[in-house]
């Protein structure tokens, strides 16, 4: 089954090239809005080097995580060339830099995402980087990223169709459990497009959509629902991260009563909150207090703005109280 042209047309994401880190923070990270970044992978050796042949060579028979099994790249490429399933297995490996250190040296974290506060946990940090390889039709069905982190996803080869909804809008056809620990959605991504994509047309809050191609990056702000389908064989790197812009969110998430089910990417789910908080306090004394203070000030400023308008507008007529 093919993706229909009408599923691919809409391109509503903001695209930026050569933006400063300050602009990224104020226009996208702080307001928690997605953006597609162009032209920031030019220095990555991976962009030139990562052909099938090269990856087969450097991986030297190492096995990678492919859904519930592990496979060599040779085995996976053979599978991908012959797969008939509507939802092919996806290679998604969190340990690729340990298995093949050269792959880790072939890319660098773009300037926008260098603050990586989970780094204070050293070896105990949750999984945070993955190599992703899959044929056309493979992909990720709707989900929100782990531990309330934000992410970036860089396409080294291929093309990915993205559909993203803000945290307050649950995508049609998707049913998260009340505690957020589980999500049910159509098994196949194609099925979601066939049965639910059309439903978004009349929604007030339509999804942010794009096709992300070789050399481009999508920024996925924390809490955003996203679905991704590869339109051709694709190779990508993704990293999840915590900067000071969402540190408080992440700490709140890790502290939830059902942390043992919600927290992921680590074996010590229940203690992650305390370990992370203590490590931040030790490495960056005063940071959490300062962020809490700034958050309170923002709430107070918002309230003040609202109450100004409430006092200025006449509730009965909807007009201004001011008169000449």
Ligand X SMILES: O=C(O)CCC(=O)C(=O)O
Instruction: Assess 228 for contact with ligand X (CB under 6 A).
Output: yes
Residues 237-266 that bind ligand X (CB under 6 A): 238
54-60, Cβ contacts within 8 angstroms, sequence gap of 24 or more: 55/103, 55/235, 58/100, 58/102, 58/103, 59/99, 59/100, 59/103, 60/100
| Binder of ligand X out of 236, 242, 280, 291 (CB under 6 A) | 236
- Min separation Cβ 139 and ligand X, Å: 5
* Count of residues that interact with ligand X, criterion CB under 6 A: 11
Instruction: Assess 160 for contact with ligand X (CB under 6 A).
Output: yes
Instruction: Assess 231 for contact with ligand X (CB under 6 A).
Output: no
* Binding track, positions 174-203, relative to ligand X; x by CB under 6 A: ------------------------------
Collapsing DSSP to helix, strand or coil, 233 comes out as coil
- Min separation Cβ 151 and ligand X, Å: 6
Our CB check for ligand X shows the closer of 10 and 161 to be 161
DSSP bridge pairs for 164: 208, 226
Our CB check for ligand X shows the closer of 158 and 279 to be 158
Instruction: Assess 153 for contact with ligand X (CB under 6 A).
Output: yes
Instruction: Assess 34 for contact with ligand X (CB under 6 A).
Output: no
Collapsing DSSP to helix, strand or coil, 232 comes out as coil
Instruction: Retrieve residue 52's tokens.
Output: 């099938």
**C-alpha to C-alpha distances, 7 to 10, 169, 197, 226, nearest whole angstrom:** 7, 20, 8, 15
Q: How many CB atoms lie within 10 A of CB 36?
A: 20
Our CB check for ligand X shows the closer of 117 and 218 to be 218
**C-alpha to C-alpha distances, 214 to 39, 52, 85, 187, nearest whole angstrom:** 10, 15, 25, 27
- Min separation Cβ 283 and ligand X, Å: 27
- Contacting positions for ligand X (CB under 6 A): 132, 139-140, 145, 151, 153, 160, 226, 228, 236, 238
């Amino acid at each position: 089954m093919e993706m229909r042209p009408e599923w691919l047309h809409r391109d509503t994401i903001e695209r930026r090239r050569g933006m400063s880190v300050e602009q990224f923070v104020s226009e996208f990270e702080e307001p928690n809005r997605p953006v597609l970044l162009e032209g920031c992978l030019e220095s990555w050796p991976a962009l030139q080097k990562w052909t099938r042949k090269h990856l087969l060579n450097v991986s030297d028979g190492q096995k990678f995580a492919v859904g519930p099994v592990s496979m060599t790249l040779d085995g996976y490429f053979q599978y991908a060339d012959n797969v008939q399933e509507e939802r092919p297995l996806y290679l998604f490996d969190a340990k690729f830099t340990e298995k093949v250190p050269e792959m880790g040296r072939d890319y660098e974290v773009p300037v926008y995402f260098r603050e990586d506060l989970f780094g204070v946990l050293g070896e105990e940090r949750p999984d945070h980087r993955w190599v992703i390889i899959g044929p056309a039709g493979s992909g990720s069905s709707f989900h929100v990223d782990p531990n309330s982190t934000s992410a970036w996803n860089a396409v080294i080869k291929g093309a990915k169709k993205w559909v993203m909804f803000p945290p307050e809008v649950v995508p049609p056809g998707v049913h998260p459990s009340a505690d957020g620990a589980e999500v049910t959605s159509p098994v196949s991504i194609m099925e979601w497009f066939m049965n639910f994509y059309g439903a978004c047309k009349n929604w007030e809050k339509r999804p942010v959509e794009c096709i992300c191609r070789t050399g481009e990056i999508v920024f996925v702000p924390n809490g955003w629902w996203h679905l991704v389908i590869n339109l051709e064989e694709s190779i990508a790197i993704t990293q999840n991260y915590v900067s000071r812009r969402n540190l408080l969110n992440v700490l709140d998430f890790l502290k939830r009563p059902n942390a043992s089910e919600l927290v992921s990417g680590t074996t010590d789910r229940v203690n992650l909150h305390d370990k992370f908080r203590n490590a931040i306090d030790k490495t960056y004394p005063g940071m959490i207090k300062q962020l809490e203070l700034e958050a309170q000030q923002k709430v107070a400023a918002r309230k003040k703005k609202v109450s100004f308008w409430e006092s200025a507008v006449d509730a009965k007529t909807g007009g201004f109280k001011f008169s000449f």
